[in-house]
Amino acid sequence: MINLANTDLQISPLCLGGNVFGWTADVNNSEAVLSHFVENGGNFIDTADMYSQWGDGHVGGESERIIGNWLKPRGDRSSLVIATKVAKMDKRRGLSAQNIRAACEESLQRLQTDYIDLYYAHEDDLKTPIEETLGAFDTLIQEGKVRYIAASNFTAPRLQESIEIAKKAGLVAYVAAQDHYNLLERDYETSLRPTLAQNSLSQLPYFGLARGFLTGKYRPGKSVSSVRSGGVAGYQNARGWNLLAQLDELAQQQQTTVSAVALAWLRDQPTVAAPIASARNLEQLKEILPVVELSAEELQTLTMA
């Protein structure tokens, strides 16, 4: 287990993404994935109120509801770290105090729990004063409904401003961030990482496997049946294929999966605490579960690739 900086949360080195629950993963597969993850040492589960409102006939809350129905009968809530988010659900847009309060209560009901371990501002809200947003989060923490807060998809200046306002006003501050970062998406390293490092915040990156491209299932000339296939078109080029070749070689040497090697690189990057990756069935979960160690030379090879 890893101690998440600025908190007393002990988290597994992989965070299980819940964005597929109730979407590409039905109830049975979702519950099987959750159970196998926990039975094999995982304890960190990430979701959001808006998952998966993009699906046909969906309104949001589907993922939280599945997690809640799985969680309630287990009786081991304190051993798990549950993260969810507010601000992007169609009927709960923004970070106003009123919206945060209502969204939190609804998430707690769907998750069937009394508290949220890590509650994210899912995106910035330029229309709401930062003091109001942090004040609302502060109240939820005082009430015991939230333990810690984090920021997702913020710019560096806005994240820094939020941290400074929290300090000046004596309000709760963000302890971590969640942003788009993987071997093929490297903007984070220059845009946000310096701010996180300066403030001793942890990064919990999403799309750690580049929407599935870094699992190795995409190959030149091969057609993949996936709802995410359109999102990886930009990776199917010389750069992407070269990186996959390097991952293949290292995976063979380590006797592990391509996914595990890609996540190992991400896990070893400055400020990163634990990458987030999702699985819609047990087969996919078993590919992302291994935690492997890469040498400095191997890490550099992937960085340059």
First to last CA, the chain: 30
Looking at the domain assignment, is residue 152 inside a domain?
yes
Question: How do strand 88-89 and strand 146-152 relate by DSSP bridges?
Answer: unpaired
Q: CB–CB of 177/124 below 8 Å?
A: no
Out of 51, 119, 120, 188, the active site residue is: 51
- Whether pLDDT at 223 is above 70: no
Residue pair 19/53 in contact by the 8 Å Cβ criterion: no
Nearest partner of 64 among 36, 95, 35, 23, judged by Cα:
23
What is the per-residue pLDDT across 82-129, written as a single tens digit (0 to 9) for each? 999 999 999 999 999 999 999 999 999 999 999 999 999 999 999 999
Residue 183 lies in a domain: yes
Indicate whether 229 belongs to any domain. no
Please answer whether residues 292 and 261 qualify as being in contact, where contact means their C-beta atoms are separated by less than 8 angstroms.
yes
pLDDT at 233 over 90: no
Q: What is the mean pLDDT of residues 170-178?
A: 98
d(CA 108, CA 18): 16
Burial-class residue 180 by CB neighbours within 10 Å (0-12, 13-18, 19+).
Answer: middle
- Indicate whether 164 belongs to any domain: yes
Q: Is the pLDDT of residue 226 over 70?
A: no
CATH number of 100's domain:
3.20.20.100
What is the Cα–Cα distance from 281 to 285, expressed in whole angstroms?
6
The pTM score is 0.95
235 occurs within a structural domain: no
8 A C-beta contact, residue 1 and residue 260: no
Give 151's strand partners: 121, 177
From 32-41, 53-62, 171-180, the region with the lowest mean pLDDT: 53-62
Q: Is residue 233 part of a domain?
A: no
- The SS3 assignment for 30 reads helix
pLDDT at 227 over 70: no
The per-residue pLDDT for 230 is 67
Q: For residue 33, what are the domain limits? A: 2-210+259-295
Q: Tell me whether residue 252 is in a domain.
A: no
Does the residue 217 lie in any domain? no
- Annotated catalytic residue 51: yes
Q: How many domains does the chain have?
A: 1
In order, the DSSP letters of 185-215 are B-THHHHTHHHHHHTTPEE--BSTTGGGGGG
CB 92 within 8 A of CB 102: yes
